[in-house]
Amino acid sequence: MEKEDIENIALDLLIEAIYRRYGHDFRGYSKSHIRRRIKQYVERRKDGCISTLIPEILHNEELFETLLHELSITVTEMFRDPFVFRKLRQEVIPFLRTFPFIRIWVAGCATGEEAYSLAIILKEEGLYDRTTLFATDFNDAALEKAKIGVYPVEALRKYAGNYQQAGGTGSFSDYYHARYDSAAIAPALKNNVVFANHNLVTDGVFSDMHLVFCRNVMIYFERELQNRVLGVFTESLVHGGFLCLGTNEDILFSDDRHSYRSIDGPARIFQRLAVRNFR
Ligand SMILES: C[S@@+](CC[C@H](N)C(=O)[O-])C[C@H]1O[C@@H](n2cnc3c(N)ncnc32)[C@H](O)[C@@H]1O
């Protein structure tokens, strides 16, 4: 048997051990993603061996937390792919405006920049006060940073460009307070954002959502898991609600593809049809 085959067995056993011991299910994640991240981790430990992690993970909860963070990539930014936000403004905001209350789910929000970007758009469109933004992730450390909402001032300077390209109508510097090297998101933007732990693989739906926003999360999933999670989004949306997946994901191969009409191809914005439609 080749070394790589043995490594694959060890990887499967490690994923199974994590699932059975801690309930965190990575079985539907892309194997190449998991392999790359775990290998980087064992190489840093100078151990180089995946199989020695298995008995350790069963007995050491701290090691599990460490691995959980290794497997969760939290890279994000404000107004990432600005054109997606511009499209959202043009195509989705007019629809949201027709509701007395608006419910939005940002799934896989990492450290919160995406949720605060949406909050800014809603504020500029006069919709923020009647909106609740649920922003979820399975990484507690990322959620803690999101709740605090303090980012390096250098990053905020970069995001100012994104904000302009996204069609921002105000002055970006009004949305944070800079102090030395840090910038704190303005409290007015935080009031209606609820950050919570939610695992897309094992936890349930969020009901009556008018918009579900989930970008750069399902790229780490195999197709079957993508399909299942898209089903959760479909069930979470009101009829006529919107799903925004951004540039890297699509509904093309999912069972639910006929339950939506496309609103914008490149930004992957879809509107849920009145009837859930399997064909
Ligand atoms: C690359 S970040 C994307 C952040 C943001 N959506 C963006 O596009 O900028 C991916 C996030 O998905 C989260 N994630 C991965 N698997 C998840 C799961 N099963 N349930 C909830 N969040 C998950 C990770 O913890 C990470 O914060």
Q: What is the pLDDT of residues 222-259, one digit of tens each?
A: 999 999 999 999 999 999 999 999 999 999 989 999 99
pLDDT in the model for residue 279: 53
- 160, 189 in Cβ contact below 8 A? no
Index of the ligand 1 atom closest to the CA of residue 25:
19
Count the Cβ atoms, other than its own, within 10 Å of residue 4: 8
The answer to whether residue 198 is domain-embedded is: yes
Residues 97, 188 share a domain: yes
What are 53's two structure tokens? 């992690």
Which of 71, 102, 118 is the endpoint of a domain?
71
Considering only CA atoms, which residue is closest to atom 3 of ligand 1?
Answer: 216
pLDDT bracket for residue 276 (50, 70, 90): low
Residues 49, 104 share a domain: no
- 83, 266 in Cβ contact below 8 A? yes
Q: Write out residues with Cβ below 6 Å of ligand 1.
A: 72-76, 80, 108-110, 114, 137-139, 142, 199-201, 215-217
Residues 91, 48 share a domain: no
pLDDT for residue 278 is more than 80: no
For residue 98, the CA-to-ligand 1 centroid distance in Å is 30
- 127, 118 in Cβ contact below 8 A? no
Tell me the helices (H) and strands (E) count for the chain, helix number first: 11, 10
Task: Among 34, 72, 159, name the best residue to mutate to test ligand 1's pocket (greatest count of ligand atoms within 8 A of Cβ).
Answer: 72
Domain span including residue 51: 3-71
For residues 36, 42, 43 and 45, what is the CA-based torsion angle, rounded to 10 degrees? 150
Residues 209, 136 share a domain: yes
Residues 111, 212 share a domain: yes
Residues 265, 209 share a domain: yes
Residues 67, 86 share a domain: no
Q: Total domain count for the chain?
A: 2
What are 119's two structure tokens? 């909050």
The answer to whether residue 120 is domain-embedded is: yes
The answer to whether residue 12 is domain-embedded is: yes
For residue 110, the CA-to-ligand 1 centroid distance in Å is 5
Residues 93, 41 share a domain: no
Which of 52, 71, 90 is the endpoint of a domain?
71
For residue 200, the CA-to-ligand 1 centroid distance in Å is 9
Residues 199, 132 share a domain: yes
CA distance 44 to 48: 8
pLDDT in the model for residue 48: 72
CA distance 161 to 74: 21
Q: Which pTM does this prediction carry?
A: 0.95
Q: What is the pLDDT of residues 127-178, one digit of tens each?
A: 999 999 999 999 999 999 999 999 999 999 999 999 999 999 999 999 999 9
The CATH number of whichever domain residue 114 belongs to comes to: 3.40.50.150
Residues 30, 95 share a domain: no
Which of 41, 71, 101 is the endpoint of a domain?
71
The answer to whether residue 277 is domain-embedded is: no
Residues 187, 94 share a domain: yes
Q: What is the pLDDT of residues 53-88, one digit of tens each?
A: 999 999 999 999 999 999 999 999 999 999 999 999
3-class state of residue 98 by DSSP: coil
CA distance 72 to 110: 9
Considering only CA atoms, which residue is closest to atom 25 of ligand 1?
Answer: 72
Considering only CA atoms, which residue is closest to atom 13 of ligand 1?
Answer: 108
